Amino acid sequence: IELACDDGFEVLSEVGKKDPVLDKEMSLDDRIKAMNDELNAGSSLIIVEAREGGKNIGIFDKSGKANEDEIDTILNNVDNEKILWEAPNKDQQVFFILKLGNEVNLGNISSDDITSLETLRRGLRGDTLGKI
């Protein structure tokens, strides 16, 4: 990260793992440490891994529900403006918009879902209408 930044690149890094079966899950403390280490090394944005399915990995349980206690711990220990939350599923997107506001950094959004996400961000759908 430092070398890339020294060479003039903007670095976005990702914390987490791709396969919930092959490796054991990183502990929350390890994830927070890795996030802060990468920010201190010069990363502009830290991506919190959730894969394309958004289930059974990182901050999401087997059904894709966000673990709010873990998210709150991350938010209390890492600069929220420097986090991009992967949220491939609509209910995850709604969760983050309601929790962190319509400017929350979201990633791993299917190109087919961009219009839907923007209507959620603007409070034009039932899930966020009158709530943001």
Least confident of 1-5, 6-10, 46-50, 92-96: 46-50
Amino acid making up residue 21: V
DSSP secondary structure, 38-89, as one string = HHHHT-SEEEE--TTT--SBTTB-TT--B-HHHHHHHHHHS-GGGEEEE--S
Q: Where are the domains of the chain?
A: 2-121
Cα–Cα distance for residue pair 41/63, rounded to 1 Å: 34
Average pLDDT over residues 79-94: 96
What's the pLDDT at 15?
92
More confident of the two residues 111 and 54: 111
The CATH number of 2-121 is: 3.20.20.70
What's the pLDDT at 92?
97
